[in-house]
Amino acid sequence: MIIEPLALTPDHDLPGPLLTELTALYASNHEFYALSGDFPDPHDIRPEQVAAALADELTNPDVDVLLARSAGRLVAVAITLAHHPDPADPDPWIGLLLVDAEQQGKGYGRQLAAHIEDRFRETGQDAVRLAALDNNPAALSFWTAIGYETIGHRKDRQLGRPCAVLRKILR
């Protein structure tokens, strides 16, 4: 698996072919988006919606978007945040880790999570956090299976959805 940062065009847009790939990946996860409510119709996710969602993320200079490919195919995407908006929170965050629904169970999510952890470890971070929707037991199971521990519950900052906050020590 090859992991690379998202590269925008000189006009700071997503290249058309990449946007098509990202839209297909997002759309393959309609079950997740039915739970999250991030898109109006989880069975009809459109390129302009994906572009807008990523553009919102990329307005923050602390955000990185990572693309994971296997055999040239986009199999996963991750969005990380180097600093949480809450100054009392010292840890970087994984905002999203999304594996193409047809590729789930093949280890891509674990590999991408390990890559993210290594990147944060290399920058001297001691831990990483994320929030998993309380109504998404599959996500909670995935994250706890790879060593994350639930440290609290709160509503997410964006839409007020109930979430479990998980943390993993990196050292």
pLDDT value for 148: 98
Whether the Cβ atoms of residue 148 and residue 168 lie closer than 8 Å to each other: yes
pLDDT value for 85: 80
Other C-beta atoms lying within 10 Å of the C-beta of residue 81:
20
Report phi then psi at 37, rounded to 5.
75, 15
pLDDT value for 10: 85
pLDDT value for 13: 85
pLDDT value for 84: 83
pLDDT value for 45: 96
Q: Count structural domains, the chain.
A: 1
Cα R_g (the chain), whole angstroms: 15
CATH code: domain of residue 79? 3.40.630.30
Q: Over the chain (171 residues), what is each successive 10-residue block's mean pLDDT?
A: 91 89 95 89 95 90 96 97 87 96 96 98 96 94 97 89 96 83
pTM here is: 0.94
pLDDT value for 162: 94
Q: Where are the beta strands (DSSP E) in the chain?
A: 2-5, 63-70, 73-81, 93-99, 127-133, 149-155, 162-169
pLDDT value for 87: 83
Domain encompassing residue 20: 2-169
